[in-house]
Structure 1
Amino acid sequence: MNILITGGAGFLGTLLARTILERDHLRDQTLRTLTLTDLVAPVRPEIVTHSKVSIDGGDLLLRLPELFKQDFDAVFHLASAVSGECEADFELGLRSNLDATRAVLEGLRAQHARTGRAPLLFFASSVAVFGSDAAIPMPAVVTDTTLPTPQSSYGIHKFICEQLIADYTRKGFIDGRVARLMTVSVRPGRPNGAASSFLSGIVREPLAGVPTRCPVSLDTAVALSSPLTSIQGVLAVVEASREAFGGRTALNLPALTVTVGEMLQALKEVAGEQVASLVSVEPDEQIKRIVGGWPSRFDCQRTHRLGLQADASYQDIIRQYLEMTRA
């Protein structure tokens, strides 16, 4: 199997690549090649030196014509501009999210015309597709049938891409699978431009002895998923049969619902009060508006039928992060 991961140098892209390389197969087919494309190269030596891995660096939109000169059995499209970036730079969001995804779809449609086979496409969508509209308020619990009404440019981009992938799948050009990822916490590394970045930072930085700010109130409820649970969900969605996936509509991966105050209490229990005291609450109105508009409670029956469950506790998520950073 020949696989492409866009955003392959990002945290989730790197974790997905490591997992696939360790398994050495996908959908009961042996891995032949794994191509990772991103603005920068991955840094993990076990990835960049692997005999089955090739690295492609540069602007995705410019690199896609060259990449699609070869055929891929599966594409994981993870690359995107994140929420805060899209609000700050409208053109960047359109180019990185809509234009790039359309180019991926067209590359796969051309491949289908050459080979007669529909390649698999996994698209990482987001809970940012949900929001509270004046005409259609967001319910207290989001279910598999809740209508997305995005309230940010990032959410709009993700929802448009969901619908494009559904149509390319309906036409038989691809086998499209879309899953809406919860906010992934705890991410290692440096903060990014996502409005949700603090949901890793308020744990990651204190554990490193660095003071950090929390831009929302402690009673803010959020829907989270650990890195390993998120990757498990992605692979389960990809490996499910078309019938088990059910239709062409995006599904919601399972979520652990916690308040920011409960996250800090978990940090205190795992790492001690001195570590937790490094977090100060300093409200940021824009982040409060964006994050406060996202749903925090989900009933994910479709993913439960695939055998997926949310993380058991935020304490467990912090311990997972500590284990990952020690590895």
Structure 2
Amino acid sequence: MKVLIIGGGGVVGQKLGKALAARGELRGAPISRLVLADMAEAPVFDAPFPVETATCDISDPASMERVIDADTDVIFLLAAVVSAQAEEDFDLGYRINVDGTKNVLERCRALGTKPVVVFTSSIAVFGGEVPQPFTDHSALNPQISYGAQKAIGEILLNDYSRRGFVDGRGFRLPTISIRPGKPNRAASGFMSSIFREPLQGQSANCPVDRDFPHFYLSPRKCVENLIKGAELEQAALGKCPSMTMPGRVWTIGQMVDAMTAVAGPEPASRITWEPQPELAAILEGWRMDIRPEKALQLGLEADESFEDNIRYFLEDDIQR
């Protein structure tokens, strides 16, 4: 079993790789090789099988030919230009998020080996005037370029799966919080920074009110769900292999209160509350009621509480 993680140098890619190393198998077969592909060389880690790195450019078909070969059994397609950056740089977003996704699928079609492709989409595909709650049967109506690009990716994945070129399954990720490391270009980045930095003794700004609700999932549960998603049988996915990954809706205030319950009052005192006009247009459409029934029925899970998200960060990622 050869596994390829495209985006293997990122937060989720690294956590996914380490989780696969701890398991040693996927889809009932021992993992024989794991390849971490990214724009820059990804960090490696100990595993009971060879872990290799590959530099690649997902927007370049020749690059995909080099990293996807006939021995590749499972591909986790995590690489993306995220929300705020995709909004600022229209061409880059479409080149990576649309052309790049198609390049991966086209390489699989050319090989004729029908690998499992696990594609990470986003809840940014929802929005506009579509009635809430958003379910797996709601129309996709993205209100930012990133959401549009991910919606196109879902349609491509669905069609390439229907035609038998790949065994695809797509998961619309909730906002993943708390992400470790440095902030990225996601508009939702503050939803990690207002916990990550205060828990590490630093200040952070929250650009929305305490009553702002959103749909969240911890990195630990995200990785568990990606692995479960890879192991689903194609027949269980039905005629639409893309679905929303489970998460839970909490307000910012509830999340800050959860941090206080676990870590005491000091971290919350390091949060400032100043609006950021450059994010306002993106955040305006994010008050979402999302119901991920299909993924729940297939065995994927949400966190029990945001206190768990705080504890996972303290256990897995905090830099003291």
> Take 1:147 and 1:16, find their aligned partners in 2: how far apart are those partners?
30
Alignment of 1:123-134 (within 5 A): 123-132=119-128
Offset of residue 45 of structure 1: 3.6
> Take 1:154 and 1:21, find their aligned partners in 2: how far apart are those partners?
31
Q: Residue 106 of structure 2 corresponds to which residue in structure 1?
A: 106
> Take 2:295 and 2:243, find their aligned partners in 1: how far apart are those partners?
7
Mean CA deviation greater in 247-256 or 102-111:
247-256
Q: Residue 304 of structure 1 corresponds to which residue in structure 2?
A: 296
Q: Residue 56 of structure 1 corresponds to which residue in structure 2?
A: 54
Alignment of 1:205-216 (within 5 A): 205-216=197-208
Which residue of 265, 288, 312 corresponds with 1:320? Answer: 312
Q: Residue 245 of structure 1 corresponds to which residue in structure 2?
A: 237
SS at match of 1:60: coil
Offset of residue 119 of structure 1: 1.2
Q: Residue 183 of structure 2 corresponds to which residue in structure 1?
A: 191
Mean CA deviation greater in 74-83 or 91-100:
91-100
SS at match of 1:158: helix
Query: For each residue in 1:210-240, what CA deviation from the matched residue of structure 2 results, as whole angstroms up to 9, or x when unmatched?
Result: 1111111221100000111111211222111
Tell me whether 1:77 sits opposite 2:77 in the alignment. yes
Offset of residue 272 of structure 1: 1.8
Offset of residue 169 of structure 1: 0.9
Identity %: 38
Q: Residue 153 of structure 1 corresponds to which residue in structure 2?
A: 145
Offset of residue 186 of structure 1: 0.3
Offset of residue 248 of structure 1: 2.4
Q: What amino acid maps onto 1:127 in structure 2?
A: I
Which residue of 101, 105, 120 corresponds with 2:116? Answer: 120
Query: For each residue in 1:159-178, what CA deviation from the matched residue of structure 2 results, as whole angstroms up to 9, or x when unmatched?
Result: 00100111111111111111
Residue pair 1:141, 1:295 contacting (<8 A) in 2 also: no
> Take 1:45 and 1:15, find their aligned partners in 2: how far apart are those partners?
11
TM-score, normalised with respect to structure 1? 0.92
Query: For each residue in 1:138-164, what CA deviation from the matched residue of structure 2 results, as whole angstroms up to 9, or x when unmatched?
Result: 333211211110000000000001001
> Take 1:58 and 1:73, find their aligned partners in 2: how far apart are those partners?
19
Residue pair 2:5, 2:35 contacting (<8 A) in 1 also: yes
> Take 1:32 and 1:295, find their aligned partners in 2: how far apart are those partners?
44
> Take 1:291 and 1:308, find their aligned partners in 2: how far apart are those partners?
27
Q: How many residues are matched?
A: 317
SS at match of 1:179: strand
Offset of residue 262 of structure 1: 1.2
Tell me whether 1:263 sits opposite 2:255 in the alignment. yes
Residue pair 1:127, 1:294 contacting (<8 A) in 2 also: no
Query: For each residue in 1:297-322, what CA deviation from the matched residue of structure 2 results, as whole angstroms up to 9, or x when unmatched?
Result: 22222112112332111111101110
SS at match of 1:101: helix
> Take 2:45 and 2:94, find their aligned partners in 1: how far apart are those partners?
33
Offset of residue 285 of structure 1: 2.6
Q: Residue 180 of structure 1 corresponds to which residue in structure 2?
A: 172
Offset of residue 247 of structure 1: 2.0
Residue pair 1:36, 1:53 contacting (<8 A) in 2 also: yes
SS at match of 1:223: strand
Q: What amino acid maps onto 2:59 in structure 1?
A: L
Residue segments in structure 1 that go unaligned for 5+ positions in a row: none
Q: What amino acid maps onto 2:226 in structure 1?
A: V
Q: What amino acid maps onto 1:88 in structure 2?
A: E
Q: Residue 91 of structure 1 corresponds to which residue in structure 2?
A: 91
TM-score, normalised with respect to structure 2? 0.94
Which residue of 195, 201, 216 corresponds with 2:193? Answer: 201
Residue pair 1:130, 1:295 contacting (<8 A) in 2 also: no
Which residue of 266, 285, 294 corresponds with 2:286? Answer: 294
Residue pair 1:255, 1:297 contacting (<8 A) in 2 also: no
